């Protein structure tokens, strides 16, 4: 079992920045892909950014150029640097971690609110 502890969410003005962190603990051996999803009220959960074990990254089009995903394998941690935030970025952000065998784990979610 893997436990994910998210942090870094909060209230920020448009154009501001936040850095989300997700630290994995427990049986972290074999963790492969890591990523961030978000879900706004009335909308489906969507993939925001993902990163593979070798550092290859993927971004949802609306955040490309504004968000940066990174990982520290020694710390079993994945980060999401969020810059130039927009009100439409407001959502609950969830950390996602995958292991071989299609095993998947989710963080508890952290609220990001972008508002004047």
Say if residue 81's pLDDT is above 90: yes
Q: Are 24 and 6 in contact (CB under 8 A)?
A: no
Please compute the mean of the pLDDT values over residues 51-58 and round it to a whole number: 94
Coil, helix or strand for 31? coil
Please compute the mean of the pLDDT values over residues 106-115 and round it to a whole number: 97
- Cβ neighbors of 62 (< 8 A, separation 6 or more) are 88
pLDDT for 1: 86
Say if residue 100's pLDDT is above 90: no
In the chain, pLDDT over 90 holds for what percent of residues? 88
- Cβ neighbors of 28 (< 8 A, separation 6 or more) are 2, 76
Q: Are 37 and 92 in contact (CB under 8 A)?
A: no
Say if residue 29's pLDDT is above 90: no
């Amino acid at each position: 079992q893997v436990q994910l502890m998210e942090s870094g969410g909060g209230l920020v003005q448009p154009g501001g920045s936040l850095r989300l962190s997700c630290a994995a603990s427990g049986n972290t051996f074999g963790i492969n892909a890591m990523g961030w999803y978000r879900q706004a009220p009335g909308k489906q959960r969507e993939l925001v950014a993902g990163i593979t074990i070798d550092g290859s990254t993927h971004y949802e089009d609306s955040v490309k150029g504004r968000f940066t995903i990174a990982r520290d394998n020694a710390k079993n941690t994945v980060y999401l640097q969020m810059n130039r935030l927009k009100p439409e970025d407001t959502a609950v952000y969830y950390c996602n971690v995958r292991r071989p065998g299609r095993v998947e784990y989710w963080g508890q979610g952290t609220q990001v609110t972008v508002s004047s």
